């Protein structure tokens, strides 16, 4: 299977691409360049959807929408530019890339599997993450609607909602905040990027052939 994963220069995206590359033909992308076991296309910027044109989207059987950015800070004082940027990168550009993927797959009369990396922040309220929450909640809603729209054409569309993982994105959390999350998590630890990657391996496979439109939470029980 040929799979495109976005945001693979580090963190979760890198782990997903490395894991999937053990069994599949994987292409990753991001703004920068990296050395990896999978092919990585640089210069793909979610601030500039024109850069998507270099991606041969119709070739891929599955698309993993992993690119994401977070900003924290109280909403009342957040700069308008920052609110727009989070929605643009996490939601609007992700939808535009997905639209191009769907159009190109339909043009070659093939279906595909789409996996959106969302977050538990989209289903639970956390102070300081209003714009990020809005972007992820929007992605989950789009997942359901797209699953209905494209199911008859054989596409499957799912979201994964991870809890906190140790990546650059979560690096601003203090040791105390991490301890508090761990204390509140029934399994007593953070989620690992490998655990999320394994779920994606399952979701792209035929073993998941009747799973679509779902928002799957991987958080050690934090949100139950
Ligand atoms: N870490 C967590 O605790 C956590 C929890 C739940 C959900 N998530 C979600 O998981 C996904 C991955 O997060 P992460 O923790 O791995 O974050 P990360 O370590 O900050 O990595 C983000 C990745 O996205 C790429 N990216 C960011 N902005 C981009 C842009 N404008 N254009 C193209 N690529 C861009 C980055 O590549 P370049 O900067 O090289 O372009 C990088 O590869 C995100 O959707 C995030 O919301 C994370």
**Average pLDDT of span 165-176:** 93
Q: Is 7 in the pocket of ligand 1 (CB under 6 A)?
A: yes
pLDDT of residue 72: 87
Name the pTM for this structure: 0.98
When comparing pLDDT for 95 and 173, which is higher? Answer: 95
Are 121 and 133 spatial neighbours (Cβ–Cβ below 8 Å)?
yes
pLDDT of residue 172: 87
To test the ligand 1 pocket, which listed residue (4, 5, 6, 13) has its Cβ within 8 A of the most ligand atoms?
13
To test the ligand 1 pocket, which listed residue (7, 93, 218) has its Cβ within 8 A of the most ligand atoms?
7
pLDDT of residue 124: 96
pLDDT of residue 52: 97
- What mean pLDDT, rounded, does the chain reach? 97
Percent of the chain predicted with pLDDT > 90: 99
Atom 39 of ligand 1 has which residue's CA nearest to it? 31
Q: How sure is the predictor about 183, in pLDDT bands with cuts at 50, 70 and 90?
A: very high
Which distant-in-sequence residues (6+ apart) come within 8 Å of 128 by Cβ?
Answer: 72, 73, 74
Residue 213 has pLDDT above 90, yes or no: yes
Which distant-in-sequence residues (6+ apart) come within 8 Å of 181 by Cβ?
Answer: 163, 164, 173, 190, 222
Q: List the one residue out of 98, 128, 91, 129 whose CA is nearest residue 115.
A: 98
Residue 137 has pLDDT above 90, yes or no: yes
For the CA atoms of 114, 118, 124, 127, the dihedral, rounded to the nearest 10 degrees, stands at: -160
55: its two tokens: 């991606």
Spacing, Cα 172 to ligand 1 middle (Å):
14
132 is catalytic: yes
Q: Is 131 in the pocket of ligand 1 (CB under 6 A)?
A: no
Which distant-in-sequence residues (6+ apart) come within 8 Å of 98 by Cβ?
Answer: 63, 65, 114, 146
- Nearest atom in ligand 1 to 193's CA: 16
Q: Is 186 in the pocket of ligand 1 (CB under 6 A)?
A: no
What distance in Å separates the CA atoms of residue 103 and residue 109, rounded to the nearest whole number? 10
What distance in Å separates the CA atoms of residue 144 and residue 136, rounded to the nearest whole number? 13
Are 56 and 44 spatial neighbours (Cβ–Cβ below 8 Å)?
no
* pLDDT tens per residue, range 3-54: 999 999 999 999 999 999 999 999 999 999 999 999 999 999 999 999 999 9
């Amino acid at each position: 299977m040929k799979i495109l994963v976005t945001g693979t220069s580090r963190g979760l995206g890198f782990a997903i691409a490395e894991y999937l590359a053990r069994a599949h033909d994987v292409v990753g992308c991001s703004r920068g360049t990296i050395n990896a076991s999978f092919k990585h296309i640089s210069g793909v910027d979610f601030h500039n959807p024109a850069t998507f044109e270099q991606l041969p989207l119709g070739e891929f059987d599955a698309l993993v929408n992993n690119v994401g950015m977070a900003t924290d800070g109280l909403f009342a004082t957040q700069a308008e530019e920052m609110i727009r940027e989070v929605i643009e990168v996490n939601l609007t550009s992700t939808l535009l890339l997905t639209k191009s993927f769907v159009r190109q797959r339909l043009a070659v009369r093939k279906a595909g599997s789409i996996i959106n990396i969302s977050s538990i922040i989209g289903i639970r309220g956390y102070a300081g993450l209003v714009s990020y929450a809005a972007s992820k909640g929007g992605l989950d809603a789009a997942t359901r609607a797209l699953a209905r729209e494209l199911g008859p054409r054989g596409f499957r569309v799912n979201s994964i909602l991870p809890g906190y993982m140790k990546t650059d994105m979560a690096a601003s959390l203090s040791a105390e905040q991490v301890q508090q999350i761990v204390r509140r998590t029934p399994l007593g630890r953070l989620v690992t990027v490998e655990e999320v990657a394994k779920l994606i391996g399952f979701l792209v496979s035929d073993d998941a052939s009747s799973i679509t439109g779902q928002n799957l939470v991987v958080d050690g029980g934090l949100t139950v």
